[in-house]
Amino acid sequence: MSFEQRGRMPLDYQPSALAGSVLRFRGPLNADSGPGIVCIGSSETFGRFIDAPYATQLDRALDIPVLNLGVVNAGLDVMMNDHAIAAAVAEAEAVVMQITSAHNMTNRLYSVHPRRNDRFVSASAMLRTIYPRVDFTEFHFTRHMLSHLRDASEDRFEIVRTELEQAWVARMRRYLKGLAVPVHLLWLSNSKPDDPEDASLAQSPLFVSSKMLDEVRPDAASLTIAAPEEADEAEAIEGKYFGPREEAAARLLPGPELHRMATESLLAHLGF
C-alpha cells in the first residue's frame, strides 16, 4: 500500500496531481502560478518525513513560484519520461535536479517499473548470461536484487556496477544537453560522494561517485553538495515525522538541517 493511502499520519503530504500524469506529488501544488523554479527528484526532494523540504523553503525565500515535483522512490526514468514533469521543466526559468541513484533506472541489464523506479521488473538476456544460476523471479526491488548479485559474485558484480555507472552518466548528459533551461544539480544525502559503501547498499544516491559528478557537472549551471561531515545517530531522526514501523526508513533520508543547508546553497546559485 502506498504512503498516501495509509490513513492518518504525522504529516499530511496533501497528495496532488498534474494534468497528463498519474504520479502523485506533494501538495499543495501551485502549478498555475506561472513559470518559476521546478524541483525534480526522488523521496528527498518530495520531503518524506520532513515538514518543510528545500523546495518549500525556496518558495518562501523567493519572489517567484517554486514547484516541488519530487516523487517518492523516483529515479531518472520518472524525471525524464513523465509528460507533466517534462512540460513543467520546459516552461521553468530554472530547474533544481536532485542527483538520484544509478541503480533505479532501466538499463541494458534490467528494467524497472516506470513510476516506482525502485521496483525491479525483469532481467535482460545480458544479465541472465552474466548470472546464469540466478532466479530473477524472486526479486521485487532493485536493491534486493543487486545485493544478491554482489553476494553471488563480486567479480561479476563489477560488470553490473560499471554498466549502471556508465548508463547514468550517459543518461544525465543527454538530458542536461537537451534542456534550454539552466539546471542546478543537488546532492542531498546523509552520505558524501565517495563515502564507503555500506554492506546493505542502503545509501543514496547509490553508485554515483564524485568522478561521475565531474563528468556531468559541465552540462549543468551549478552543483550543490548537501551532506553531513560525519554521521550522527542523534540527528538521524531529529525533526522528522514518521508513523509506526517507519523509523528505519526515516533514518536513511536527510533531515531538516540538510534541507536548510541545501536551501542556502541553492539560493546563492539560483541568483533570483
Q: What is the pLDDT of residues 178-218, one digit of tens each?
A: 999 999 999 999 999 999 888 889 999 999 999 999 999 99
How far is it, in rounded angstroms, from Cα 34 to Cα 92?
9
Contact 254, 44 (CB under 8 A): yes
pLDDT, tens only, 112-143 = 999 999 999 999 999 999 999 999 999 999 99
How far is it, in rounded angstroms, from Cα 253 to Cα 17?
24
Q: What is the pLDDT of residue 6?
A: 45
pLDDT band at 4 (very low <50, low <70, confident <90, very high): very low
Q: What is the pLDDT of residue 77?
A: 98
Vertex 101, ends 156 and 177: CA angle to 5°?
A: 110
* Res. 70: pLDDT tops 80: yes
Q: Which helix (DSSP H) or strand (DSSP E) does residue 252 occupy?
A: helix 247-252
Verify cis geometry, omega within 30 degrees of 0, for the bond prior to 132: no
* Res. 232: pLDDT tops 80: no
pLDDT (mean) for 46-59: 97
Please list, residue by residue across 65-93, b when 16 or more beta carbons sit within 10 angstroms of its beta carbon and e when fewer do. bbbbbbbbbbbbbbbbebebbbbbbeebe
CA distances to 219, 247, 269 from 250, rounded to whole Å, are 32, 5, 29
- Joined grid coordinates for residue 170: 550517459
Its pTM stands at: 0.94
Contact 10, 4 (CB under 8 A): no
